[in-house]
Structures are given as C-alpha cells and as structure tokens.
Structure 1
Amino acid sequence: MAFTPEQLKDIESAGNGFLVIRRPPPEIRDQVDLAYKIEGQSVLIHEIRAQWRNPDKKIESPVAKATYVETRKHWKIFWMRADLKWHGYDPNSEVTTIADFFKIVHEDKHSCFWG
C-alpha cells in the first residue's frame, strides 16, 4: 500500500527539516552529501559520496531506515550494521511519527547511525 498524500507531506516536511540540519556545506556536496528516499513502505536515509577511484561516479551508503507498519500505526527503525544487513534499532525500535525517526537518527545517542 502506498503512502497517503498526508503521510507523504509529513515525510517530506520531516525529511527536509532533517537535511537542513545534517547536510554538509554546499561547497563539499559534490564530494559527500546526504539524502533520503522512499522505497515502498520505508524511508531510507543514505550518504552519497564520490567513488575514490572515479570521482565522477557516486556511491550511496545506507544510514538508517524506517518502515511503516500500517496495522500498528508506527514506524520500525533499522540501522545498517557491518554485515550489510538491516538490524532493529534496539534503543528505540518503534516510533509513532516519521519526525521522531529523523530526530533519533540526528541525535544518534548510541552511535549506530553515524559511528
């Protein structure tokens, strides 16, 4: 099931607010940047970097993911571990709003998202 227009508006508002705070300065965004995207029922935050051997090629590295569970009306939070698999974020595995997800990723109290 696709997101409703209201949910998309909430995602865009929270996501853009997050990017205002977390994105690197404009002068280095061609080297490293931050973005989010919607895939199915999930919102993914990813880092965009130039490939070290070929600076014209960009690589996306996942940082965090929130998946909406319609039946329970909450978002499940995941982080990418070194095994390159998504794992539940145990300190706060669920939140009720997408804004809370972006806040948790920004604060990163347990250094799971940003190291």
Structure 2
Amino acid sequence: MAFAKEQLQTLESTLTIWLAVRRPEAALRDKIDLGYTIKNQDIFLEEIRPIWNKPEEMGRYAFAKIKYEKATELWKIYWMRGNLKWHPYEPKPVFGRLELALEEIMKDPYHCFFG
C-alpha cells in the first residue's frame, strides 16, 4: 500500500532536505549524484552516475532501502549484500523517525552503504 498524500508530502520534504545537505557540489553532479525513489512503503536511496559501458546514459543504483511498517509506525533500514538481496541493517535496523534512519545511513559506521 502506498503512502497517503499528506504522508508523501512530508516524506518528500524530509528527503529534499536530506538531498540538499548530502548531494555533491553542482559541478560534479553529471559524474555522481544522489537521489531517491519511493515505491509503495519503501524508499530507495540511490547513487546516480553514468553507466560504465554507456557513459552518455545515467544509471540509478540503490544503496539503501528504508521501509515504513505501518502497523508499528517504525522505519526499517536495509543494505544490499554482494548477493544483490536486501538484508536488515545490524546492529540497529529499526528507527522511530525517518530522519534518524537517514542519519544512521549517512554515518555508515559499519561501511554497509558506502564501502
């Protein structure tokens, strides 16, 4: 089930602020950038960069997934392992607010999201 219209506006506002703080400077954005995609109850944080064998085309590569669990009103974060499957982020996979989940991903103390 997708987010309600009001929720979606709040999420997009939060993600816009996150992008404003985290995006590379404008001169680099044709080489590397950050973005997001919202699908149903999931937010995918993405790296946007040229496709290696088609440098004239930009590819979007998800590096983190944040899932909203409506029943508990919690945000769960996931990282993609080498098998290309999403796995819960340990040691702290659950957050009460989206902002806290985004902050943990950007800190990346275990190098799951940025290597």
Q: Does the pair score TM above 0.5? A: yes
Query: Which aligned pairs between 1:9-48 and structure 2 lie closer than 5 A?
Result: 9-48=9-48
2:63 and 2:15 map into 1 onto residues whose CA distance is 14
Query: Which aligned pairs between 1:90-101 and structure 2 lie closer than 5 A?
Result: 90-101=90-101
Higher RCO (C-alpha under 8 Å, 6+ residues apart): 1
Give the drift of 1:7. 1.9
Report the secondary structure of 1:50's partner residue.
strand
TM-score (norm 2): 0.91
The superposition leaves residues 29-88 of structure 1 with CA deviations (integer Å, 9 ceiling, x where unpaired) of 111111011011101101011023322111111110111111111111101111111010
**Aligned sequence identity (%):** 37
8 Å Cα contact 1:37/1:44 also seen in 2? yes
* Unaligned ranges ≥5, structure 1: none
In the alignment of these two chains, the number of paired residues is 115
Letter in 1 for 2:29: R
More displaced 10-residue stretch of structure 1: 5-14 or 78-87: 5-14
8 Å Cα contact 2:64/2:80 also seen in 1? yes
TM-score (norm 1): 0.91
